[in-house]
Chains A and B, each alone.
Chain A
Protein backbone atom coordinates (compact mmCIF):
# COMPACT_ATOMS: atom_id res chain seq x y z
CA UNK A 1 0.00 0.00 0.00
CA UNK A 2 0.92 3.65 -0.17
CA UNK A 3 3.32 5.01 2.37
CA UNK A 4 3.41 8.40 4.03
CA UNK A 5 3.53 11.20 1.50
CA UNK A 6 4.49 14.82 1.98
CA UNK A 7 4.19 17.88 -0.19
CA UNK A 8 5.86 19.87 -1.44
CA UNK A 9 9.15 17.99 -1.55
CA UNK A 10 11.03 21.29 -1.68
CA UNK A 11 9.98 24.78 -0.71
CA UNK A 12 12.00 27.96 -1.02
CA UNK A 13 10.46 31.01 0.59
CA UNK A 14 11.44 34.50 1.53
CA UNK A 15 11.93 35.49 5.14
CA UNK A 16 8.68 36.72 6.61
CA UNK A 17 6.38 34.68 4.36
CA UNK A 18 4.03 31.98 5.63
CA UNK A 19 4.34 28.37 4.48
CA UNK A 20 2.13 25.29 4.69
CA UNK A 21 3.50 21.78 4.66
CA UNK A 22 1.23 18.81 4.06
CA UNK A 23 1.36 15.23 5.27
CA UNK A 24 -0.78 12.31 4.10
CA UNK A 25 -0.33 9.43 6.55
CA UNK A 26 -0.85 5.76 5.89
CA UNK A 27 -4.56 5.04 5.74
CA UNK A 28 -5.88 3.87 9.11
CA UNK A 29 -2.96 5.12 11.16
CA UNK A 30 -4.39 7.05 14.08
CA UNK A 31 -1.12 8.55 15.28
CA UNK A 32 0.76 11.22 13.36
CA UNK A 33 3.99 13.00 14.24
CA UNK A 34 5.92 15.95 12.89
CA UNK A 35 9.68 16.20 13.29
CA UNK A 36 12.27 18.71 12.13
CA UNK A 37 15.77 17.81 10.96
CA UNK A 38 18.21 20.68 10.78
CA UNK A 39 21.56 20.29 9.07
CA UNK A 40 23.93 18.25 11.21
CA UNK A 41 21.29 17.63 13.86
CA UNK A 42 19.12 14.72 14.78
CA UNK A 43 15.39 14.82 14.45
CA UNK A 44 13.53 17.16 16.78
CA UNK A 45 10.00 16.27 17.78
CA UNK A 46 7.47 18.99 17.02
CA UNK A 47 3.94 17.70 17.60
CA UNK A 48 1.97 14.47 18.05
CA UNK A 49 -1.60 13.85 16.92
CA UNK A 50 -3.88 11.07 18.11
CA UNK A 51 -6.83 11.23 15.78
CA UNK A 52 -7.53 14.92 15.23
CA UNK A 53 -6.33 15.96 18.68
CA UNK A 54 -2.80 16.99 19.61
CA UNK A 55 -2.05 15.77 23.14
CA UNK A 56 1.58 16.81 22.84
CA UNK A 57 2.61 20.07 21.21
CA UNK A 58 5.65 20.51 23.41
CA UNK A 59 8.13 20.51 20.55
CA UNK A 60 6.71 23.44 18.61
CA UNK A 61 9.53 26.00 18.83
CA UNK A 62 7.41 29.16 18.87
CA UNK A 63 3.91 30.46 18.38
CA UNK A 64 4.74 30.94 14.71
CA UNK A 65 4.35 27.19 14.34
CA UNK A 66 0.96 25.51 14.29
CA UNK A 67 -0.49 22.27 12.99
CA UNK A 68 -3.84 20.71 12.46
CA UNK A 69 -5.22 17.39 11.41
CA UNK A 70 -8.60 16.70 9.89
CA UNK A 71 -10.60 13.56 9.23
CA UNK A 72 -8.02 11.61 11.22
CA UNK A 73 -6.01 11.82 8.04
CA UNK A 74 -4.24 14.75 6.42
CA UNK A 75 -2.17 17.08 8.55
CA UNK A 76 -0.86 20.55 7.77
CA UNK A 77 2.07 22.21 9.50
CA UNK A 78 2.00 25.99 9.15
CA UNK A 79 4.92 28.28 9.81
CA UNK A 80 4.10 31.97 9.92
CA UNK A 81 6.56 34.78 9.31
CA UNK A 82 9.34 32.35 8.43
CA UNK A 83 12.86 32.97 9.69
CA UNK A 84 16.14 31.66 8.35
CA UNK A 85 16.51 29.37 11.35
CA UNK A 86 13.35 27.59 10.19
CA UNK A 87 15.30 26.15 7.26
CA UNK A 88 15.26 22.39 7.73
CA UNK A 89 13.76 19.16 6.49
CA UNK A 90 10.33 18.64 8.01
CA UNK A 91 9.43 14.99 8.41
CA UNK A 92 6.04 13.47 9.06
CA UNK A 93 5.47 9.98 10.41
CA UNK A 94 2.44 7.88 11.22
CA UNK A 95 1.86 4.76 13.26
CA UNK A 96 -0.88 2.38 14.32
CA UNK A 97 -0.62 3.41 17.95
CA UNK A 98 -4.04 3.65 19.43
CA UNK A 99 -5.40 5.87 22.12
CA UNK A 100 -4.49 4.59 25.56
CA UNK A 101 -2.03 2.02 24.37
CA UNK A 102 1.63 2.01 25.26
CA UNK A 103 4.34 2.96 22.81
CA UNK A 104 6.79 0.87 20.86
CA UNK A 105 4.92 1.04 17.58
CA UNK A 106 6.96 1.51 14.43
CA UNK A 107 6.71 4.94 12.94
CA UNK A 108 6.60 5.13 9.16
CA UNK A 109 8.26 8.23 7.82
CA UNK A 110 7.55 10.28 4.75
CA UNK A 111 10.33 11.58 2.49
CA UNK A 112 10.18 15.02 4.06
CA UNK A 113 9.80 18.60 2.87
CA UNK A 114 13.02 20.56 2.53
CA UNK A 115 12.30 24.15 3.52
CA UNK A 116 14.76 26.87 2.64
CA UNK A 117 14.16 30.39 3.93
CA UNK A 118 16.15 33.04 2.07
Chain B
Protein backbone atom coordinates (compact mmCIF):
# COMPACT_ATOMS: atom_id res chain seq x y z
CA UNK B 1 0.00 0.00 0.00
CA UNK B 2 1.14 3.49 -0.75
CA UNK B 3 1.40 6.26 1.80
CA UNK B 4 2.51 9.87 1.89
CA UNK B 5 3.90 11.76 4.86
CA UNK B 6 4.07 15.54 4.88
CA UNK B 7 6.16 16.87 7.74
CA UNK B 8 4.58 19.88 9.37
CA UNK B 9 0.91 20.73 9.16
CA UNK B 10 1.88 24.41 9.08
CA UNK B 11 4.99 26.15 7.74
CA UNK B 12 5.56 29.87 8.25
CA UNK B 13 8.00 31.92 6.18
CA UNK B 14 8.63 35.58 5.56
CA UNK B 15 8.07 37.08 2.15
CA UNK B 16 11.24 36.59 0.10
CA UNK B 17 12.44 33.62 2.13
CA UNK B 18 13.03 30.10 0.89
CA UNK B 19 10.04 27.78 0.91
CA UNK B 20 10.64 24.10 1.72
CA UNK B 21 7.71 21.73 2.10
CA UNK B 22 8.63 18.14 2.86
CA UNK B 23 7.10 15.01 1.43
CA UNK B 24 8.13 11.41 1.91
CA UNK B 25 6.38 8.50 0.28
CA UNK B 26 6.27 4.77 0.43
CA UNK B 27 5.43 2.71 -2.60
CA UNK B 28 6.15 -0.82 -3.64
CA UNK B 29 6.75 0.25 -7.21
CA UNK B 30 8.31 3.33 -8.80
CA UNK B 31 5.65 5.93 -8.29
CA UNK B 32 4.23 8.95 -9.95
CA UNK B 33 4.44 11.92 -7.58
CA UNK B 34 2.45 15.12 -7.55
CA UNK B 35 2.18 18.39 -5.70
CA UNK B 36 -1.20 20.12 -5.66
CA UNK B 37 -2.07 23.51 -4.21
CA UNK B 38 -5.41 24.55 -2.76
CA UNK B 39 -6.09 28.25 -2.42
CA UNK B 40 -8.83 29.30 0.01
CA UNK B 41 -12.29 28.33 -1.22
CA UNK B 42 -10.92 26.88 -4.44
CA UNK B 43 -10.34 23.42 -5.85
CA UNK B 44 -6.98 21.74 -6.08
CA UNK B 45 -4.59 22.82 -8.80
CA UNK B 46 -1.62 20.83 -10.06
CA UNK B 47 1.72 22.47 -9.31
CA UNK B 48 4.00 19.81 -10.77
CA UNK B 49 4.41 16.08 -11.26
CA UNK B 50 7.18 13.50 -11.50
CA UNK B 51 6.71 10.68 -13.99
CA UNK B 52 10.24 9.24 -14.20
CA UNK B 53 11.80 11.68 -16.61
CA UNK B 54 14.10 14.28 -15.04
CA UNK B 55 14.38 13.99 -11.27
CA UNK B 56 14.22 17.78 -10.85
CA UNK B 57 10.77 18.90 -11.86
CA UNK B 58 9.81 22.50 -12.45
CA UNK B 59 6.24 23.58 -11.94
CA UNK B 60 4.11 26.66 -12.06
CA UNK B 61 4.61 29.83 -10.02
CA UNK B 62 8.34 29.22 -9.55
CA UNK B 63 8.00 25.98 -7.59
CA UNK B 64 10.15 22.93 -8.17
CA UNK B 65 10.62 19.52 -6.58
CA UNK B 66 13.34 16.92 -6.65
CA UNK B 67 12.70 13.19 -6.67
CA UNK B 68 15.23 11.38 -4.49
CA UNK B 69 14.71 7.65 -4.68
CA UNK B 70 17.30 6.86 -2.01
CA UNK B 71 15.48 9.10 0.46
CA UNK B 72 11.97 8.32 -0.85
CA UNK B 73 11.39 12.05 -0.86
CA UNK B 74 9.82 14.62 -3.15
CA UNK B 75 10.26 17.93 -1.34
CA UNK B 76 8.78 21.11 -2.79
CA UNK B 77 10.85 24.29 -2.89
CA UNK B 78 10.65 27.87 -4.04
CA UNK B 79 13.58 30.27 -3.71
CA UNK B 80 11.56 33.32 -2.71
CA UNK B 81 8.09 33.26 -1.17
CA UNK B 82 5.34 35.66 -2.22
CA UNK B 83 2.25 36.57 -0.25
CA UNK B 84 0.15 34.94 -2.97
CA UNK B 85 1.81 31.58 -2.23
CA UNK B 86 -0.14 31.33 1.03
CA UNK B 87 -2.25 28.22 0.55
CA UNK B 88 -2.45 24.56 1.47
CA UNK B 89 -0.12 22.19 -0.36
CA UNK B 90 -0.72 18.51 -0.86
CA UNK B 91 1.75 15.85 -1.92
CA UNK B 92 0.27 12.79 -3.63
CA UNK B 93 1.44 9.48 -5.05
CA UNK B 94 0.02 7.02 -7.53
CA UNK B 95 1.41 3.76 -8.76
CA UNK B 96 1.55 2.78 -12.40
CA UNK B 97 -1.69 0.87 -12.43
CA UNK B 98 -3.96 3.84 -12.78
CA UNK B 99 -4.14 7.35 -11.49
CA UNK B 100 -5.95 7.04 -8.18
CA UNK B 101 -4.03 9.32 -5.86
CA UNK B 102 -3.01 8.79 -2.26
CA UNK B 103 -2.64 12.19 -0.61
CA UNK B 104 -0.69 13.44 2.34
CA UNK B 105 -2.51 15.40 5.03
CA UNK B 106 -1.38 18.71 3.60
CA UNK B 107 0.83 21.56 4.73
CA UNK B 108 -0.54 25.05 5.20
CA UNK B 109 1.98 27.64 4.03
CA UNK B 110 1.75 30.97 5.83
CA UNK B 111 3.64 33.92 4.38
CA UNK B 112 4.20 37.02 6.47
CA UNK B 113 5.25 40.45 5.18
Binding site for B on A (CB under 8 A): 3-4, 31, 33, 35, 40-45, 48, 50, 55-56, 91, 93, 95, 97, 102-107, 109-112
Contacts and interface: CB of A to CB of B under 8 A. Distances in A.
A104 B43 contact: no
Contacts of A91: 43-44
Given A4-B43, A111-B43, A112-B43, A103 B98 contact: yes
Contact of B99 (A3, A42, A104): A104
Given A48-B100, A97-B99, 16 more contacts: A35-B101, A40-B105, A43-B44, A43-B103, A45-B101, A56-B100, A91-B44, A102-B96, A102-B98, A103-B94, A103-B100, A104-B32, A104-B51, A106-B46, A106-B49, A107-B46
Which residue of A44, A50, A112 has the most chain B CB atoms within 10 A of its CB atom? A112
Contacts of B45: 109
Given A41-B105, A42-B90, A45-B102, A102 B97 contact: yes
Which residue of A4, A103, A109 has the most chain B CB atoms within 10 A of its CB atom? A103
B43 A110 contact: yes
A43 B90 contact: yes
Contact of A42 (B41, B51, B106): B106
A25 B44 CA distance: 14
Contact of A107 (B4, B42, B99): B99
Contacts of A105: 99
A103 B43 contact: no
Interface in B78-109: 90, 92, 94-106
A71 to B, nearest CB: 21
Contacts of A4: 43
Contacts of B104: 42
8 contacts: A3-B43, A31-B99, A33-B100, A41-B105, A43-B90, A43-B101, A91-B43, A103-B95
A112 B38 CA distance: 11
